[in-house]
Structure 1
Amino acid sequence: MEGERESRMSQDEGFLRAIIDNPDDDTPRLIYADWLEEQGQPRGEFIRLQVRRAALAAGDPARAEMELRERQLLAEHEQRWLRPLRPWVREWQFHRGFVERVRIPAEWAVGAGRGVFQRTPVRHARFNEATYLIGDLAALPGLAWLRSLDLGHNLLTAGHLEPLTRSPYLARLETL
C-alpha cells in the first residue's frame, strides 16, 4: 500500500512537472486530468472544465453551467487542492485547472515559499513586502514562466528594480 501511494505521488509529480514546463500547452493538463479521473479524483473534472471554459468565447452560453460546476467543485475540494501552497500563498486564482495567479510575501517567496513555483504553474505573481528583497526575488528560477509581476504597494525606486532588468529568469515577462 505504501509503495502504491509513493508510485502515485511520483506519477503525480511527473505530470505536474510537464505542466509547469509547458504552461501554454493544454495537452499535459488534459492527460493529467484523464489520469486523475482514472484515480477517482474530482480534480480531473475541474481541470477539464477550466481548460474547456478557457477556450470558449466570453458570451458562450455553455460558460454559465461550467462556472457553476467549477464553483461546486471548489467549494468541496479547494482547501485540499491548495494544501501544498497554503503555507505561503495569501491569494490565488485558478486558471485552466491550476493556481496560476498568486500573492506571496516576498520574504516567503525567497525562503521556503520558493517551492510554490515547483507545485503549480505560476504565471502571474504579486509580491508584497519586497522593497529590500528585489535582488533575491530576481534570482528565483521559479520566475522563469511568469507573464506578469506585480510589485505595487512596495516602496521602490528605479535602483530597486535594476536587479530585475538583469535577471535571466524574467525573459517571458510581459507586464511589470
Structure 2
Amino acid sequence: MKPPRPPNLPFARSYWVVPGKLLAGFLPGDRDPFVAKAKLESLLNCGISHITNLMEEDESDPLNRRKFTDYTPEWFDLGAIRGEPVTWDRSPIRDLGIPRIADMTATLDLLDEVLAEDRAAYVHCWGGKGRTATVIGCWLARHGETDPLSKLQQLTAHARIHFPVIPETAQQRAFVQNWKVNQ
C-alpha cells in the first residue's frame, strides 16, 4: 500500500524535509503561465518565502531542447501582491552531476541562514530527483542524519512514482554518503 501524501504539500512532486520549514521538489515554473502561477501560489500558501534553484541559468529541457521559462518575475510579483517578502537564489549544479565541495557548503550555508531567520525554503532542480536530493541529503547529513539516503527514501515514500531512486546517480549518492556532520 502506498503511504499517504503528507499534508500541505504544494504538489505531488514535492516533499517536506522539515515540515513547514524546508521543502524540496521539482521546477515550480511552466511554459503555461497559469500553471506556473498556480505552482508558485501553492508554494506561498505553504509558507515558502525563499526558493533555491539548482538549475543552470541557460538550462534546456532535454526532451525538446527548449530553454526553461523563467518563473522569477512571477515569484516576485506574487510576493509583492501579497505583501510578503520573497527571495530567490541560484546555486547551479550540472544536471546529473555534483557540485564542488565549496559550492555545496555555500548552498547549505544559505539554506541554514534562511531557516535561522524563521523563513521557509523550497529547493528545486528540474525533476527534483538528482541535484535536489543531493543537496537535501547533504543538508540532512550536516544536521546529524546518520543515513541520509534512507531518510530521503522515507521522505519521498508518498510519491515513489516521481522519486524512484534518489539521488538519481551513483555519483550523487556517493557524494551524499561522504558528507559529514557540520560540514
State the TM-score, normalized to the length of structure 1: 0.30
Larger radius of gyration: 1
State the TM-score, normalized to the length of structure 2: 0.29
Bigger RCO (CA 8 Å, 6+ sep): 2
Q: Which has the higher helix share?
A: 1
